[in-house]
Structure 1
Amino acid sequence: MLQEKGIFGNIGVQVVIAMCVGTIVGAMMGPAAGMFAPLGSMFIHLIKMLVIPLVAVAIISGAASLGSSQSAGKVGLATLGFFGLTSAVAVILALVLGGVFKPGIGVDLTGVEGMFSNAYADQGDLPSFWATLLGMIPTNVFQSLTEANILQILVFCLFFGIALSKVDKARRDPLINGVNTIVEAMIWMINVVMKVAPLGVFGLMADAVGTFGFDALMVVFKLFMVYIVALLIYGFIFYPAMIKVFSNVSPLKFLSVMKKPQAVALSTASSMATLPVTMEVCEEELGVKNATASFVLPLGATINMSGNAIYYGLVAIFFAQIFNIDLSIGAYIAIILTSTLGAVGQAGVPGPSFLVVAVLLAAGIPIEGLPLLFALDRIFDMTRTALNITGDAACAVIVDSMVDTGEAKPSNSQA
């Protein structure tokens, strides 16, 4: 899909170069670098334009394929179990690394106290179980599409796809073929949009650095470095180990072919925008059956957020150390539970800042310093998205190996 034409033709290299150039331009121009912000906004708008219809048709296609087999329930339970378990382990890893490397100890806040704000104090209550459950059920699916409520779209499309599989074969096949054709068309459109990804990343980085400056960047630099260590451990050790144990796919091959979707994830900071590339790699290069990939990957792009779980856990430790708070066992348990539930329910809340607030308040940690994170928010978002889609693909590979969906695996000439 994204052809590599030499080192500088690789989108991953282009994105890294764009980030570096954007950082330099932002540092040199200061607040005036905000003039490049529309480049980033244009790129994000183009991605958002395509994400909702792509997710909707991909989930319908996957649910329709699984619904005609006897293994839909097994695939669903295995997928949800994988996402919940890996998110919980991700938070525990974050807490361990935060305790070992202590990113908040010795942080110099001189010159950035003005960024402290209590503006998020009233945004930290996670919705109750019943409120969350009711909020997932759309009363008007067209309104859900208009408002981009991912969880409601997910529920309706899963239900509709399964219902479609129960219709007489002669009548359902033309409609399913039409849905698959739309998926292919959406993939082509996203490939075109990806050509402007480096420009978008440049604009976003220049604006962020120019707005916040290097003082704010250095305050959270140690946190960022520990965060990267956590992502590397999870992405290059934990997930490959699970693939080695629970599937017949080579972990080395998995890591090799995942470079392509990871590059797209870095540039878009969106699991859903990366979805077509992840699906192509899983089906054509890792041999995952289409029925499994079409169900697991859109679901994962919506609710599987291990990278976010690591972020929430580390941020909690970071601010606890800055404010010299000794966390109790109860506080650690609150962080694990809130981070896990928040990561899985990411698509159902207004944004990541809301969930960070929920985690901090659950553990009794002050939230005034939250704006400190905004300087590197874009980079945090890009890197955790790369881990999230790696987890999606790992889940698809493992579930496909453990559950028989009754569909022949695709021929894999690159195996």
Structure 2
Amino acid sequence: MTTETHSSLTRRIVTGMIAGILVGSALQWLMPNGSDFLIPLGLFDFSFRGFFVDGVFEVIGQIFISSLQMLVVPLVFVSLICGTCSLKDTTKLGKIGGKAVGLYLITTAIAISFAISLALLISPGEGVNMTSDSTFTSREAPSLATVLIQMFPSNPFTAFAQGNMLQVIVFALLFGIAMALSGKAGERVASIFEDMNEVIMRLVTILMNIAPYGVFCLLAGLFTDLSIETFGNLIVYFLVVLFALLVHGLVTYPILLKTFTGLNPIIFLKKMRDTAIFAFSTSSSNATLPITLETTTKKMGVKNSIASFTVPLGATINMDGTAIMQGVATVFIAQVFNQDLTLVDYLMVILTATLASIGTAGVPGVGLIMLAMVLEQVGLPVEGIALIIGVDRLLDMTRTAVNVTGDSMVTIVVGKSEDQFDQETFENPDAGAKIENIDFHHLKD
């Protein structure tokens, strides 16, 4: 399969994104401030908002998101079992996990430290003096002991049903290790899971081919109600967060990749293009997880025994983009409410945000819940979150793209350090291109 075929999907997704933004902006001009546009048709009025925004766009967009999320639990469970039971030495699992968790926490600490420094330098909240009657109810941050206890499921089927990824990961690891230690019986069961893995990956491929239509509907619906006036005095905050995200994704990750592996970061960024676009469109690391896993194995050359562990783990605990938002937002809210934070306070923000990322669901909007935890730790008013909710949706999309880029970078570093990495695949521009071409006309044959 050629590079032309590979880039075809990217062009279609980008086309869907641009078309969605243009259509949404046109509908916003037609229906400003959440109004409706009605066309009298005799017995009834045709509602543009009811038919397009709340109808076609909402239905197709949510079906697309649900279809991706549908794959998350079975994909993580099956692929992680396949990867774990394929390890010849199961004691390596602890070593791999230690490397992955360590790298994820380091990149998160770097992200929020850079964000706070940048925000203090630019001072996005100086002179804003905004007030809001809105409130944001926070959730109590769980203790470290609670997080550790809740990692182990009392009922794995409940973990599957609730989508509790940490519990699914732990159960899959234990099940995979047991299979690896069960001799012939384990090999027989492993062959079943290998076949299931192939079928699930094929389903991922089908969804990748219909993604442009889902992306179009998601962005068309979003931009119908996203008013440019919403930015107002928050434009500086918005640009600071966006700049920090871009620097972390396009500079920090490539530098770390080059430092730890010596690989070409340009190749890495090019191969991350499709995955980043998916992440941007869905605003969900979990929904993008099937695409991230496919990219790291088929395009990047990381063996499934590594990627099946580090990618789901990253989607669960690696929240660099969210940490950047929290760092800038904390400084912004402190300046808006004229409250001075000490060096100890900022260190507490870094520590809290880094540890709070563990066990946080990779779904849209979860960053605001984490931010509430961080603000409470340093005594800032939680209702300050109401100031940034208006612009958080676009930033949420961008930071999700950063998060999945970090997941892939750490996966490559761990894979190469464990000699579970194919550099020839990484350097091959056509690697993985064949997964993007399905002839749906022959599915019935």
Aligned length: 406
Q: For residue 125 of structure 1, what is the aligned residue in structure 2?
A: 140
Q: For residue 142 of structure 1, what is the aligned residue in structure 2?
A: 157
2:33 counterpart of 1:19: no
Q: 1:5 to 1:396 in 2, by over 3 A?
A: closer
**Contact residue 87 and residue 344 of structure 1 kept, 8 A:** no
Q: Which of these residues, 369, 381, 384, is aligned with residue 354 of structure 1?
A: 369
**Contact residue 12 and residue 264 of structure 1 kept, 8 A:** no
1:44-193 → structure 2 map (5 Å cutoff)? 44-66=65-87, 68-107=89-128, 109=130, 116-120=133-137, 123-168=138-183, 170-193=184-207
Deviation at 1:12, TM superposition (A): 3.4
**Contact residue 331 and residue 364 of structure 1 kept, 8 A:** no
Q: For residue 62 of structure 2, what is the aligned residue in structure 1?
A: 41
**Contact residue 76 and residue 312 of structure 2 kept, 8 A:** yes
Q: 1:218 to 1:185 in 2, by over 3 A?
A: farther
Q: For residue 290 of structure 1, what is the aligned residue in structure 2?
A: 304
Q: 1:175 to 1:402 in 2, by over 3 A?
A: same
Q: Which moved more, 1:253-262 or 1:179-188?
A: 179-188
Q: Provide Cα deviations, 1:40-62, integer angstroms capped at 9, x if missing partner.
A: 33322222222221122122222
Q: Which of these residues, 230, 246, 257, is aligned with residue 271 of structure 2?
A: 257
Indicate the SS of the match to 1:368.
helix
2:394 counterpart of 1:392: no
Q: For residue 323 of structure 1, what is the aligned residue in structure 2?
A: 337
Taking the aligned partners of 1:218 and 1:46, their CA distance within structure 2 comes to 36
**Contact residue 27 and residue 209 of structure 1 kept, 8 A:** no
Deviation at 1:259, TM superposition (A): 1.0
Deviation at 1:20, TM superposition (A): 4.3
Q: For residue 40 of structure 2, what is the aligned residue in structure 1?
A: none
TM-score (norm 2): 0.82
Letter in structure 2 aligned against 1:96? S
Q: Which of these residues, 289, 293, 301, is aligned with residue 279 of structure 1?
A: 293
Q: Provide Cα deviations, 1:8-63, integer angstroms capped at 9, x if missing partner.
A: 83323422442343244235323244524344333222222222211221222222
Taking the aligned partners of 1:315 and 1:249, their CA distance within structure 2 comes to 34
Q: 1:147 to 1:305 in 2, by over 3 A?
A: same
Q: Provide Cα deviations, 1:316-355, integer angstroms capped at 9, x if missing partner.
A: 1121121122111121012111111122331399933321
**Contact residue 208 and residue 375 of structure 1 kept, 8 A:** no
Deviation at 1:241, TM superposition (A): 0.9
Taking the aligned partners of 2:370 and 2:134, their CA distance within structure 1 comes to 17
Q: 1:260 to 1:209 in 2, by over 3 A?
A: closer
Taking the aligned partners of 1:96 and 1:184, their CA distance within structure 2 comes to 46
**Contact residue 109 and residue 354 of structure 2 kept, 8 A:** yes
Deviation at 1:198, TM superposition (A): 4.5
Q: 1:359 to 1:166 in 2, by over 3 A?
A: same
**Contact residue 315 and residue 407 of structure 2 kept, 8 A:** yes
Letter in structure 2 aligned against 1:177? S
Q: 1:364 to 1:28 in 2, by over 3 A?
A: farther
RMSD, aligned CA? 2.8
2:368 counterpart of 1:366: no
Q: Provide Cα deviations, 1:77-120, integer angstroms capped at 9, x if missing partner.
A: 111100111111111011011112222224374xxx56x42241
Letter in structure 1 aligned against 2:125? G
Taking the aligned partners of 1:300 and 1:8, their CA distance within structure 2 comes to 24
Q: For residue 11 of structure 2, what is the aligned residue in structure 1?
A: 9
Q: 1:66 to 1:106 in 2, by over 3 A?
A: farther
Q: 1:17 to 1:211 in 2, by over 3 A?
A: closer
The runs of 5 or more residues in structure 1 that have no matched partner are: none
Q: 1:210 to 1:365 in 2, by over 3 A?
A: farther
Taking the aligned partners of 1:27 and 1:379, their CA distance within structure 2 comes to 19
2:320 counterpart of 1:312: no
**Contact residue 247 and residue 398 of structure 1 kept, 8 A:** yes
Q: 1:354 to 1:149 in 2, by over 3 A?
A: same
Taking the aligned partners of 1:372 and 1:281, their CA distance within structure 2 comes to 37
Q: 1:20 to 1:167 in 2, by over 3 A?
A: farther
Taking the aligned partners of 2:9 and 2:109, their CA distance within structure 1 comes to 37
Q: Which moved more, 1:296-305 or 1:339-348?
A: 339-348
Q: 1:19 to 1:60 in 2, by over 3 A?
A: farther
Q: 1:190 to 1:219 in 2, by over 3 A?
A: farther
Q: Which moved more, 1:297-306 or 1:176-185?
A: 176-185
Q: 1:345 to 1:24 in 2, by over 3 A?
A: farther
Q: 1:207 to 1:255 in 2, by over 3 A?
A: closer
The runs of 5 or more residues in structure 2 that have no matched partner are: 37-48, 430-445
Q: Which moved more, 1:186-195 or 1:352-361?
A: 186-195
Taking the aligned partners of 1:360 and 1:298, their CA distance within structure 2 comes to 28
Indicate the SS of the match to 1:346.
coil
Indicate the SS of the match to 1:273.
helix
Taking the aligned partners of 1:236 and 1:211, their CA distance within structure 2 comes to 30
TM-score (norm 1): 0.88
Q: 1:165 to 1:27 in 2, by over 3 A?
A: farther
Taking the aligned partners of 1:60 and 1:234, their CA distance within structure 2 comes to 32
Q: For residue 381 of structure 1, what is the aligned residue in structure 2?
A: 396
Taking the aligned partners of 2:270 and 2:298, their CA distance within structure 1 comes to 14
Deviation at 1:247, TM superposition (A): 0.5
